Amino acid sequence: MNEIMQKNLQYKKYVIDSNLEYFKPHSTKIEKTFAEDVSYSLNRDSKFISPKYFYDKKGSELFEQICSLPEYYPTRTEIEILKKIKPELEGYLDVSFRLVELGSGSSVKTRLILDVFDKIQDRIEYFPIDISEILTESSELLQKDYADLHITGIVDTYEGGLEFIEKYDDKKNLIIFLGSSYGNFTPSEGKIFLKKINSIMKKDDLFLIGLDLVKNKDILEKAYDDSQGTTAKFNLNVLSRINDELDADFDLENFKHVAKYNEKDQRIEMYLKSLVNQSIIISKANISLKMAQDELIHTEHSHKYTLSQIESMMNQTDFEIKEIWMDEKENYSLSLVSKK
Give, in degrees to the nearest 5, the angle at Cα 297 between 280 and 183.
145
The DSSP symbol for 55 reads: -
Q: How many domains does the chain have?
A: 2
pLDDT tens for 84-98 read 999 999 999 999 999
Distance CA 278, CA 155 (A): 35
Closest listed residue to residue 121, CA positions, set 163, 157, 90, 159: 90
Residues 166 and 44 in one domain: no
pLDDT tens for 132-167 read 777 777 888 888 889 899 999 998 888 889 988 988
Is the residue at 22 inside a domain?
A: no
Are 54 and 181 in contact by the 8 Å Cβ rule? The answer is no
Residues 286 and 331 in one domain: no
The model's pTM is: 0.88
3-class SS at 93? coil
Q: What is the mean pLDDT of residues 172-178?
A: 97
Quick one: how many helices (H) and strands (E) in the chain?
Answer: 11, 15
Which pLDDT does position 4 carry in this prediction?
A: 45
pLDDT exceeding 90 applies to what percent of the chain? 77
Range of the domain at 99: 58-216+305-339
Residues 212 and 266 in one domain: no
Which residues are CB-neighbours of 144 under 8 A, at least 6 positions away?
none
Is the residue at 257 inside a domain?
A: yes
Residues 142 and 202 in one domain: yes
Residues 240 and 141 in one domain: no
Which pLDDT does position 252 carry in this prediction?
A: 98
CA 273 to each of CA 17, 74, 222, 276, 299: distance values in angstroms, whole numbers, following the listed order: 46, 26, 18, 9, 10
Residues 105 and 206 in one domain: yes
Confidence of residue 11 (pLDDT cuts 50, 70, 90): confident
Residues 195 and 162 in one domain: yes
pLDDT greater than 80 at residue 196: yes
Residues 93 and 241 in one domain: no
Better-predicted residue by pLDDT, 206 or 24: 206
Residues 191 and 272 in one domain: no
